[in-house]
With several copies, the nearest count.
Chain A
Amino acid sequence: MSESKWNRGVAVVGVGLSKFGAFKEKNSRDLFVEAYLDLINSMHRYDPKKVEAFYLGNFSSDQFEKQAHLAPILASWVGLSPIPTVRIEDACASGGVAIRQAALAIASGQYDVVLVGGVEKMTDLEIAAVTEALATAADTQFEVPAGFTFPGFYAAMASAYMHEYNAQRDAFYHVSIKNHSNGALNDKAQFGQTIRSIMESKKARAAQKGRPVPEWEDEIDFLSDPKGNPMIAWPMTLFDCSPVSDGAAVALLVSEDLASTFTDTPIYLVGSGQASDGALPERETLSSIPAAEEAGRQAYHMANLSPKDIDLAEVHDCFTIAEIIATEDLGFFERGAGWQAAIEGKTARKGDHPVNTSGGLKSKGHPVGATGVGQVAEIWKQLNGIAGERQVPGDPKIGLTHNVGGTGQTCVVNIFERRDLNG
């Protein structure tokens, strides 16, 4: 039995993604159109005139493109005016929160059909300006003046985690290697190469230029070498960090009773949770993200499911430590056991708890506002068995998305279920 308080259920009936990457020629609206066309082209029964509202997850087009008030512009650009449009901003969790707010609006009875979008166009700015913009997701009055950068926050959490659980730094590298190996099978990914192929091409380039060829034995050896993988904020290296990205994602949400009129393969939003927190110093612990645990607890309760029921999860690996903590916050592993599980391959595509089959933020890219919506797109594909080469085996039925804003000031967890037609 579901524990949902919602007036009615909500289903996802279609998704769309732009390519993630760095696209000089495209602005937010162009990326959004690309994702929207991907949705249209993948649905047989899409009728845009049925869309009643548009919810947009966007972190800061204000800062990246000097364009606020983006929601009505995007709706207008694809002909959806005058439907109500709302921009949701909860930093890196903007997309996941937009999914939840759209679902609540459907559950209220106000709308039957809602388009959710997520977009971020980050690569127009210089990297220093991007860094400054990302820092605005933290507390710029009290945390940033201490000297923190965004990688720095997660690095400090990593220091607390390593200290508390005696974790080995290699665990982080294993997350990176695994996510790149998944992303290599995702044609939308920004860095669709395995770490091994990145390593090999660095060797080849050195050879070509007549420089000494680095003697990296394997990926761990490569990632452990500051010449291959420079330190950003100890203990987080370059390959522990997700990239700066452009990209967009869309999902079409409808009331449960209408799902079958849009698609034969809906997935249902059976659990949703959201929580907030103060800055790092306001928290009881720094080796976990309390708001993520709370959001997960709410989502499991609403879905009447437990962590062992989750067939796969897309989690917010803005940094490798974040994925390890996420797998504990979500209850896939005991506290302090996540790093060992990562080393043992338990979160690999064919492991016990597949995590980030899309490549995650690390390899697929992290266009901030698009990330949470893009996670739903991956769950849609996996639950419907259309994820191609990266398909999780065993006919997965239940998938989870975990989207974190800032360092955990906002967390949202959504759980989706495929129901067999005869089920």
Chain B
Amino acid sequence: MAEFSMNSKDFFTALETDQLIGSHCLDCGAMVVPQRGICPRCLGSNTEIVSLSGKGTLLAFTVIYVPSLMMAQAGYDAKNPYCVGVVKLDEGPKISGQILDVDVSQPESIQIGTKLIMTTIKRGGEENEKTYLGFRPV
């Protein structure tokens, strides 16, 4: 993972090549996402960047009818709501992302505990296109 640094923007640089990166503490073994230079468990600074599987489980979610500006620009609104959630990765750490391919017309049907796999999402149109993290059911 030498191509990525601990600088926080590099998390998105990695995403552009479909890689989900985090960091691993060489002292205590803790894994965190996004990657960072200080280990939040032992507070040491002996960490390295690692790649994660992108597999995880849905921990919490919402279906949003009044979108953020970014999501409104991506075409979402009250008639076309979207799901976003917090995902527990198989390696331990948790992260937020849009949840695709779930039935947003029936929020009650979306199950906490659903197994997910990461995907990347392009938003922002041609001019400002950026890559974002998403998940979909396995």
How far, in Å, is B31 (CB) from chain A's closest CB?
13
Residues on B with beta carbons closer than 8 Å to the beta carbon of A279: 96
Residues on A with beta carbons closer than 8 Å to the beta carbon of B81: 231, 234
**Pick the contact of B62 from A48, A78, A233, A282 — CB < 8 Å?**
A233
CB contact under 8 A between A280 and B45, given known A79-B39, A131-B69, A156-B84 = no
Tell me whether B8 and A30 are in contact (CB under 8 A).
Answer: yes
Any A CB within 8 A of the CB of B117 = no
Tell me whether B78 and A230 are in contact (CB under 8 A).
Answer: yes
Closest to A169 in B: B108
Q: Could you tell me the distance between the alpha carbons of A46 and B98 in the complex, rounded to whole angstroms?
A: 40
Tell me whether A132 and B96 are in contact (CB under 8 A).
Answer: no
Query: How many of chain A's residues have a CB under 8 angstroms from any CB in B?
Result: 54
Tell me whether A233 and B65 are in contact (CB under 8 A).
Answer: yes
Residues on A with beta carbons closer than 8 Å to the beta carbon of B98: 146-147
**Pick the contact of B66 from A30, A78, A159, A232 — CB < 8 Å?**
A232
Residues on A with beta carbons closer than 8 Å to the beta carbon of B94: 280-283
Residues on B with beta carbons closer than 8 Å to the beta carbon of A143: 96
Query: How many of chain B's residues have a CB under 8 angstroms from any CB in A?
Result: 48
* A-B interface contact total, Cβ < 8 Å: 149
Tell me whether B67 and A149 are in contact (CB under 8 A).
Answer: yes
Tell me whether A282 and B40 are in contact (CB under 8 A).
Answer: yes
Any A CB within 8 A of the CB of B122 = no
Tell me whether A25 and B66 are in contact (CB under 8 A).
Answer: no
Tell me whether A230 and B65 are in contact (CB under 8 A).
Answer: yes
- Interface digits, A274-299 against B, CB 8 Å rule (1 contact, 0 not)? 00001111110010000000000000
**Pick the contact of A156 from B5, B10, B38, B85 — CB < 8 Å?**
B85
Tell me whether B38 and A234 are in contact (CB under 8 A).
Answer: no
**Pick the contact of A144 from B37, B68, B82, B133 — CB < 8 Å?**
B68
Q: Which are the 6 A-B pairs with shortest beta-carbon distances? A: A155-B62, A281-B94, A146-B96, A79-B40, A234-B107, A160-B60
Q: Can you list 29 pairs linking A and B with CB atoms under 8 Å apart?
A: A26-B9, A27-B7, A30-B8, A30-B9, A33-B37, A33-B38, A36-B38, A77-B36, A79-B40, A79-B43, A131-B68, A135-B68, A144-B68, A146-B96, A146-B132, A147-B68, A147-B82, A149-B67, A149-B68, A151-B64, A151-B66, A156-B61, A159-B112, A160-B112, A230-B65, A231-B81, A234-B62, A235-B62, A286-B86
